[in-house]
Chain A
Amino acid sequence: MRVIWYAVLVMLYAPLAVVVLYSFNSVNSSAEFVDVSLRWYRALFADDSILSAAWNSAVLALVSSVIATAVGTAMGYGLYAHRDRRLGWLIALIYLPIIMPDIVYGIAQLSFFSRLASATGAFDLGLGTMIIAHVSFQAPFVALLVYSRLVGLDPRLFDACSDLYAGAWQRARFFILPTLQPAIVAGFFLALTLSIDDFVISYFTSGPESVTLPIFIWSAIKRGVSPEINAIATLMIGTVFAAAAITLAFQYVRARRIAS
């Protein structure tokens, strides 16, 4: 069992480690490692198109996650507050983006937005359509996260608020929002990872001016893997690992607070 665990760890991290390793290779080869060099990083920071792709990636991830968190939180709370009604249609609507194959998702929006653009002049493919597309698959995940947090609560807590003189707005401000805060934060970070992980939907809803890092890498691969790509990928991996370390630190700090 332990052997399998370590083998899986090797399998999980070997591809990432190789990317990081070859990003420091002084020659353009994935077969042999010649010497340590920062050559590809220098090339990367000199390339305006890469920097603008990084900027687009960051804007896309942050803006879509903020919108999705707001929209999804409201939807999750609405689903909970009215769970006695027949809300099958709403649940189907929430699950639809989750189960839809992302390739279908991407081309549906591509064909829809391009038709809309030729009909109205708005909705040209670009960062705007990408943000719209991302929100539409992020928000359901946030809604489900918020909903599951609410379902786990004692329903009497809502009664206790009314019993203790809180009106609807006071209840939202002094009970619901503070109680949901961890779920909302988790939802935001989930939306962020979903956005960062996505390639297909971004690819089909992007325009010429809105290349993101994964799209840049994709088209570079289509031209043949270059170590410059490894350098970009290494920076992205580094960002993710930093986020993971922060997550872990938070978990352990919270665990210790509860233990004390």
Chain B
Amino acid sequence: MSQSRSPAATEAGRDNAPRADTAISLRGLHQAFGPDAVALDGVDLDIPAGSFFTLLGPSGCGKTSLLRVIAGLDSPDAGTLSIGGRDVTRTAAHKRNVNTVFQSYALFGHLDVAANIGFGLRMQGHDRATIKKRVAETAAFIQIDNLLGRRIDQLSGGQRQRVALARALVNEPDVLLLDEPLSALDAGLRATLQLELLRIQRRLGMTFVFVTHDQDEAMVMSDTVAVLNQGRIEQVGAPAALYERPANPFVARFMGHSNLFAIRAQDAEGLTADFGRLAGDFRPGSHVLLRPEVMHIRPADAPAAGGQGPNVIRAQVRERLYRGSRMEYTVAAGETTLVAVDDNRGQGMYDIGAEVALAVEQSGVVTLDG
């Protein structure tokens, strides 16, 4: 706990140095707030050292509960938790070298910015000079050195966010926990701070555990994402893996996929559904996913439409959404509704009611395990 790496020193000296000594390992974590309120239902997870790790899931999925267990603010009913190889399951929050950036920031209103940032150092018993020096270094690193004398109620949302971050980072924790830290900010500021958080994490090489319900945010920022649902981990992987090869329908839907079908029967060449035929090897009971961006939409009578072969779906446009860089069509194929995306290259749009053909690239047909 007594490393003297200041953020500034790390920045100068060992950029990107992964720290093998700090990994979080969770085994069989259970936590319930009553028979009908199971927050964590057997969570096993290894969080790689020095990575930007995201817990993703809908509200109530247990991601914040998990974060609070790691911080020590709640204790699990069963299971073990070790940080940096040391079992800290029964260690009190204030004795863990883990710091949190809270969703509401939880800045102390009775203290100014400098005293907020220095709070943790003061509680650890550092002397005034050390506190002052390290607060100044961290404030400079986060670029809030001009705010040090302000009161909290004089800060904007973005400034509060930075102060909360500085207040956690100044303690040089083994792990930084971030509980939806950007959710209270407007879209523009949010994008800026996403990049900034990422830059800080890369420079410090610190393990960041980030909680969000926003899959775009998770994909942009993370090295690894764990998708949680009802207190269980559904899938762990890199953002691309989750999007392109979701393990089950829940993950697929949560990553934004809507063209998802249960497979009931198949034949030798592939699958016949009421919307057409798909080539491939499908197992009954599993799900198939059509990625909208690899379904090429054509006029029904165009020569390139591919006739009646497999992986061509005849459909009728029901709705269209103009999204600037692309167009999103909701089409009806038989009884089934599909979503297809078309890049906007100035080719004009299909009218509602137009007959179209969707040519599905084989790479866009994904079979799910579950």
Contacts and interface: CB of A to CB of B under 8 A. Distances in A.
B128 interface: no
A164 B168 CA distance: 8
B108 A175 contact: yes
B124 A160 contact: no
Contacts of B124: 165
Interface residues of A, number: 19
A174 B94 CA distance: 14
B171 interface: yes
B8 interface: no
B122 interface: yes
Interface of A: 154, 156-157, 159-167, 170, 174-175, 178-179, 181, 258
A154 B106 contact: yes
Interface stretch (B97-105, B194-202, B327-335): B97-105
A162 B106 contact: no
A164 B119 contact: yes
B71 A164 contact: no
B158 interface: no
B108 A163 contact: no
B240 interface: no
Given A154-B104, A162-B93, A165-B94, A179 B109 contact: yes
Given A160-B107, A162-B94, A165-B120, 17 more contacts: A156-B103, A157-B108, A159-B73, A159-B93, A160-B106, A160-B108, A161-B94, A163-B71, A163-B72, A163-B93, A163-B94, A163-B99, A164-B120, A166-B123, A170-B123, A174-B122, A178-B110
Interface of B: 68, 71-73, 92-95, 98-100, 102-104, 106-111, 119-120, 122-124, 153, 167-168, 171
Contacts of A163: 71-73, 93-94, 98-100, 120, 168
Given A170-B123, A174-B123, A258-B153, A162 B92 contact: yes
B256 to A, nearest CB: 30
Contact of B72 (A154, A156, A162, A166): A162
Contacts of A156: 102-104, 106
5 A-B pairs with least C-beta separation: A164-B120, A162-B93, A156-B106, A160-B106, A165-B123
A164 B102 contact: no
Nearest to A154: B104
Contacts of A166: 94, 119, 123
B103 A164 contact: no
A10 B93 CA distance: 59
A164 B93 CA distance: 8
Contacts, number: 69
Contacts of A167: 92, 94, 123
B110 A164 contact: no
A160 B153 CA distance: 18
Contacts of B99: 163-164
Contact of A164 (B68, B92, B153, B167): B167
A196 B277 CA distance: 89
A156 B167 CA distance: 14
Contacts of A170: 123
A175 B110 CA distance: 8
Given A178-B110, A258-B153, A164 B104 contact: no
Nearest to B99: A163
A165 B102 contact: no
26 contacts: A154-B106, A156-B104, A160-B102, A161-B94, A161-B123, A162-B72, A162-B94, A163-B98, A163-B100, A163-B120, A163-B168, A164-B94, A164-B120, A164-B123, A165-B95, A165-B120, A165-B124, A165-B171, A166-B119, A166-B123, A167-B123, A170-B123, A174-B119, A174-B122, A175-B110, A181-B110
Contacts of A159: 68, 71, 73, 93, 100, 102, 106
A174 B110 CA distance: 10
Contact of A179 (B93, B95, B110, B153): B110
Nearest to B120: A164
Contacts of B111: 178
Contacts of B98: 163
Contacts of A179: 108-110
A154 B184 CA distance: 15
A154 B105 CA distance: 9
Contacts of B71: 159, 163
B33 to A, nearest CB: 10
A160 B167 CA distance: 10
Contacts of B120: 163-165
Contacts of B92: 162, 167
A4 to B, nearest CB: 36
Contacts of A178: 110-111
B295 to A, nearest CB: 45
A160 B100 contact: yes
B260 to A, nearest CB: 37
Contact of A157 (B100, B106, B171): B106
A166 B73 CA distance: 12
A152 to B, nearest CB: 11
B178 to A, nearest CB: 12
A152 B295 CA distance: 53
A166 B123 CA distance: 5
Nearest to A168: B94
A58 to B, nearest CB: 32
Contacts of B109: 179
A167 B120 CA distance: 11
